Amino acid sequence: MKTDDPREPRIRDLTPEEIAAGIALQQAEAAKMLAEAEVAQNDALKKAAETRMALAMADAAVIALHEKEREELVDLAGHAEWLAADERHHVYQFNGAVESATVKTCMKQLAIWNRSEPGCDIEIVFHSPGGSVIDGLALFDYILSIRAKGHHVTTTALGYAASMAGILLQAGDTRRMGREAYVLIHEISTGAIGKIGEIEDEVTFVKKIQSRVLDIFVDRANGKIKKATMERKWRRKDWWLDSTEALKYGLVDEIA
């Protein structure tokens, strides 16, 4: 069966020049299609790169937003911590032994509050084993001077206020004590060494201090305890008082 279309020329009817021209035309069309495919591929790669860039920028924006939110939360937490800080509420935590360094640090903070906020209420919380009597009495007098300048000073014992810390507890306008806290009162101690005359002088001086300390306790007790009773209670022993006993003897005004 013959299938040739009589309207189309057969290859054997074409001249070599016509065949070559046809081949060149097909090659040109194929090259054009290849070029168009390459352009389309390049466009697709470009769009893919742009998409990746947009996604990366979106991720960066999300990260930046989260970081900003985190910083804002940190700022808010820091601000809340500052608002609640003891320093801002004029509360001084006296933890540790009563000695030159701790006394100076406490007095420095009290001086800042006195000069920057005259008349503000102040609380000193003692959790201390006591320590140096001379350094402690310096702080005692400083607290009295702060009170004289119009500050209402509350002294509080938490845990325990032992020895010199128990004396410092008496310096406040209002003396408070935790329900499960303790106060330790005992005779003034000394580590005197040297010639017997020097030791005798030291003992005389310590007895003078001890008499003044007894007066501090008795004066603040408002008649609830006598000096003779104090001397008997602490002579040659440690006298531990819980919060109920301290309130009974007038050594604190209230139990927290």
DSSP the chain: -----TTSPPGGGS-HHHHHHHHHHHHHHHHHHHHHHHHHHHHHHHHHHHHHHHHHHHHHHHHHHHHHHHHHHHHHHHHHHHHH-TTTTTEEEEES-BSHHHHHHHHHHHHHHHHHSTT--EEEEEEE--B-HHHHHHHHHHHHHHHHTT--EEEEEEEEEETHHHHHHTTSSEEEE-TT-EEEE--------SSHHHHHHHHHHHHHHHHHHHHHHHHHHTTSS-HHHHHHHHTTS-EEEEHHHHHHTTS-SEE-
DSSP 148-172: HTT--EEEEEEEEEETHHHHHHTTS
Taking the whole predicted model, whether its pTM rises above 0.75 is answered as: no
pLDDT in tens, 168-204: 999 999 999 999 999 999 887 655 555 666 566 667 7
pLDDT in tens, 133-163: 999 999 999 999 999 999 999 999 999 999 9
pLDDT of the residue at 174: 98
**For residue 10, pLDDT beyond 80:** no
Q: Which one from 116, 186, 211, 243 is the annotated catalytic residue?
A: 186
Among this protein's residues, is 243 annotated catalytic?
no
Q: Which one from 90, 127, 128, 163 is the annotated catalytic residue?
A: 163
Among this protein's residues, is 186 annotated catalytic?
yes
pLDDT in tens, 200-228: 666 777 788 888 999 999 999 998 988 88
